[in-house]
Amino acid sequence: MPVSFSRNTAELEELIGYRFRDEGLLAEAITHTSFQYENSGTQSAHNERLEFLGDSVLGLVIAETLFTRNRRLSEAGMSRIKSYLVNKSVLYDMATGLSLGKFIRLGRGEDTTGGRQKRSILSDALEAIFGAVFLDSDYETAREVILKLYAHRISDAMDNKRGYDFKSELQERSQALFGTLPDYRIVKQEGEEHRKIFTAEVYVGEKRLGIGSGKSKKEAQMQAAGEALDEISSG
């Protein structure tokens, strides 16, 4: 179902838990380049610069939170979890939960081709909003807004719960870095039929990057993927 456009930015402010002093910053944060291109005479700014700033603010907030919440996390572990938490999939999921698509100002062409539901547009707009909050207030306020929106996601990722998908992240990074998909192999099965323990290895190309075990093949593969991500981050 297409998302309808709303000019009610007060509703958006309510959703993110922050009231802007400079409404122009919020307007800039939700303005896509396609809108600016079609309305260059009336709208001078789009959200790419704010998205750049917001990405850095978000990264610092997540890094600081990981560093202070668990002193036992290694640099590689923090890097892996941070990479997951700031990726486009997580941002898109949060933006969808905020119904952000209906507030974004798009050009007609982008709007008619489903721009209000596009992953890149929504995730970039949310980062731009983080940048706008930072400029409109300060780091501590931006931090509060970000942590409220992230809610349980950080804890879930740190505890290796379902919110952290090691396999998906490894697939993305393997394709980006090596141009190939990871290959999972179940190398061992131990125990009785209803109490088996599986051991999995994951290879990228000919190199084994991780090994893991669990009560199911999926759990073993997820553990192996997590170890592989640590190997990539520390390599």
Tell me: the pLDDT tens digits for 140-172? 999 999 999 998 899 888 876 555 678 888 898
CA distance 40 to 103: 19
Q: Is 140 exposed, middle or buried (0-12, 13-18, 19+ CB in 10 A)?
A: exposed
In the structure encoding, which two tokens stand for residue 167, read together?
Answer: 């396999």
Identify the bridge partners of residue 204 per DSSP, sorted by sequence position.
207
Catalytic residue among 28, 55, 136, 201: 55
Does domain 9-158 fall under CATH 1.10.1520.10? My reply is: yes
Q: Please indicate whether residue 55 is annotated as part of the active site.
A: yes
Q: What is the pLDDT of residue 168?
A: 84
Q: What are the structural domain ranges in the chain?
A: 9-158, 169-234
CA distance 178 to 7: 44
Classify 169-234 by CATH class: alpha beta
- How much is the pTM? 0.72
Residue 131 has pLDDT above 60, yes or no: yes
Catalytic residue among 51, 127, 136, 201: 127
* 56: CB partners within 8 A, 6+ apart: none
* Position with higher pLDDT, 51 vs 196: 51
Q: Please indicate whether residue 140 is annotated as part of the active site.
A: no
